[in-house]
Chains A and B, each alone.
Chain A
């Protein structure tokens, strides 16, 4: 025992020192779960129950609401879900490929223009992507792409933050010696990247994939600006239109609520599943300069 006060302090409040932190963090957990619980409960309420019964009392209209949801606009909800999956899935995969290649190139080679590219990418992290949405829309209209799937997919592929993370991760996880050894064995640069670089960078790439997937899935302004055809909407824009019409047509509220409930379940599941593969320490670790 170094000092008597130390032992005294920890012994005095064995209950409080455990209960207080646990209580505080459980309140935090509750705060985060309440809206999710609310939307799940509300999705079971019929239209008349929504505004009349106690807000956390389960209702009787779950099946009815589900039918309404999938019948709305001739099955538009299914298209929205499919579109969200398409934008986020394809966008995130392409984004990871582009980021991993660029990050690896920037980390493992010396070449003219490397620093210029790196600083341009850092600047890109600071520029709010969203303020680019309007000029992107104008440029897309000029080449006749506005309103297409490509108009939402293409701008999200390049992710300055993703490239930055991949560069940090390539620098930290792919040893130069391994690359050198492969070169001595006569492997080409592309082969070294795909057979040695990519497997070593995989945890970092999963992280970038998740960040991009969630980012695109949650995106609202870009598809909102780019798209006019409701069948090409992602879930976010689709639910927004339901809600904005809902003030004049309350029946749509029920559809919006169950639509929200159904949409968060797969993403939460995906997130919980991929959580173990995350290397989020990358994000903060990259800062230790």
Chain B
């Protein structure tokens, strides 16, 4: 996929490369993969291709006859140009960047911190903490937004209650620029636990002899964490980072749910909201398709850049 660091056998998938001197029914593997392939074609490939096709079409007046007729015709890159020159669509990416700049590092940073603490011998109340931090994973984004939304609303917010009691007034959670932090907080709350578990399980897989060696060399727990543990869980961090980036680009449910509570979130606050509006409010499907394709391309490009930067071959299949 990326560089040519081909390893002939990979640790986790190595057993697939075995001598092939066996006789077997040649149909069997195709039967096993058939349902997945059929569904993949029907619900991923075809919609993707259809999106691309649609993104190059547009309704145009076709002259001829007494009345001009509106017909769907090929219009080249017009939809892309109109989407990418729409300041609101582009501004949506800007807002997404601010949101992501808050949500991604904090989600991953806190997940790593909690995972390291869980892995530390001295920490108490591990079971309780691990379970508590994991619970938000089971809470749908819409429900999380509903709960946090009320905790932001001046009348029902416990935080604003405290600051009012202290004479500092209400915290404007639902106003610019606080809104970025408020929406990001919902994603952080929902994402920390799952990422923590992934990093933690990865930490548990490190052989303890490595720590003993580091301790004999005089390293303290902090040094062991930073110099032994963090480098060894980098693959898990790359994966969680990748999912955080993909998740950020797809943000839709949280700001949409929060919208009824605030005027700081417009109908086009993030790109997917603009796409939804184009498709279902303005009925401009070709433009929505063009924007979707653009968003998908951005996602793939960012993912590849991330994987390259980290120089790790995530998804260590054979190459």
Contacts and interface: CB of A to CB of B under 8 A. Distances in A.
Interface of A: 2-3, 5-6, 9, 17-18, 21-22, 24-26, 28-36, 38-39, 42, 50-51, 54-56, 97-99, 101-102, 104-111, 114-115, 117-118, 120-132, 134-136, 138-139, 154-155, 157-158, 160, 163-164, 167-168, 171-172, 175-176, 180, 183, 189-190, 193, 214, 217-221, 225, 235-237, 239-240, 243-244, 246-247, 253, 256-257, 260, 263-264, 267-268, 270-272, 275, 278, 280-281, 283-289
A138 to B, nearest CB: 7
Contacts of B120: 21
A158 B45 CA distance: 11
A158 B36 contact: yes
Contacts of B16: 107-108, 171
Interface string B174-189: 0000000000000001
B32 A183 contact: no
Interface in B267-319: 272, 275-276, 279-280, 285, 288-289, 292-293, 295-296, 299-300, 303, 312-318
Contacts of A243: 146, 149, 257, 260-261
List the 5 closest pairs (A to B, CB-CB), nearest first: A289-B316, A105-B32, A102-B36, A109-B29, A135-B47
Contact of A29 (B132, B138, B197): B132
Contact of B47 (A6, A136, A260, A285): A136
A286 B135 contact: no
A136 to B, nearest CB: 5
Nearest to A136: B47
Nearest to B272: A130
Contacts of B31: 105, 189-190
Contacts of A134: 51, 275-276, 279, 285, 288-289, 292
9 contacts: A33-B135, A39-B150, A131-B293, A135-B292, A218-B141, A218-B142, A220-B256, A221-B276, A257-B146
A3 B30 CA distance: 62
Given A107-B13, A218-B141, A272 B146 contact: no
User: Among A104, A108, A160, which residue has the most Cβ atoms of chain B within 10 A?
Assistant: A108
Contacts of A167: 13, 317
Chain A interface mostly: helix
A268 B260 CA distance: 27
Contact of A32 (B192, B300, B303): B192
Interface residues of B, number: 127
A128 B134 contact: no
A121 B235 contact: no
A56 B272 CA distance: 35
A260 B143 contact: yes
B125 A180 contact: no
Given A138-B54, A268-B135, 20 more contacts: A2-B216, A25-B123, A28-B113, A35-B136, A36-B136, A51-B155, A99-B36, A101-B33, A118-B317, A135-B292, A160-B44, A183-B24, A243-B149, A256-B146, A263-B140, A270-B138, A284-B198, A286-B12, A286-B316, A287-B239
B77 interface: no
Contact of B312 (A139, A168, A240, A287): A287
Contact of A101 (B36, B123, B259, B299): B36
B156 to A, nearest CB: 5
B233 interface: yes
